[in-house]
Amino acid sequence: MEALRQPQLPGKGEAMKCPICGRKAVTDLCRYHAEAEEKVRLAYPLWVKAYGNIEWKDFLDNVKRNPQTGQWAKEIAELLRG
């Protein structure tokens, strides 16, 4: 079960903001974190294949800890981990 996430409520006349960085949200995330989220999700089946099996939460923990993971991808992993 993924953590619920809410974009930051905008001020008057302002666009919705990304809950992670406060940039303008394009969906519920900014374009950078949305791109990172897509990459995290695309990587999961590859990890499952590589290890034979890995739980979604374990995958997120590993992604978050891995020094090669990009900063925005780590933030997404943390958000999805809840």
CB of 12 to other proteins, least distance (A): 12
CB of 70 to other proteins, least distance (A): 4
- Interface residues toward other proteins, by CB under 8 A: 14-15, 22, 24, 31-32, 35-36, 39-40, 42-43, 46-47, 49-52, 63, 66, 68-73
Query: ∠ CA(73), CA(79), CA(82), 5° rounding?
Result: 140
CA distance 43 to 61: 13
CA distance 25 to 5: 13
CB of 63 to other proteins, least distance (A): 6
- Cβ(22)–Cβ(8) below 8 Å: yes
Name the token pair of 41.
């999700």
Judged by CB, which is closer to other proteins: 24, or 81?
A: 24
Judged by CB, which is closer to other proteins: 45, or 82?
A: 45
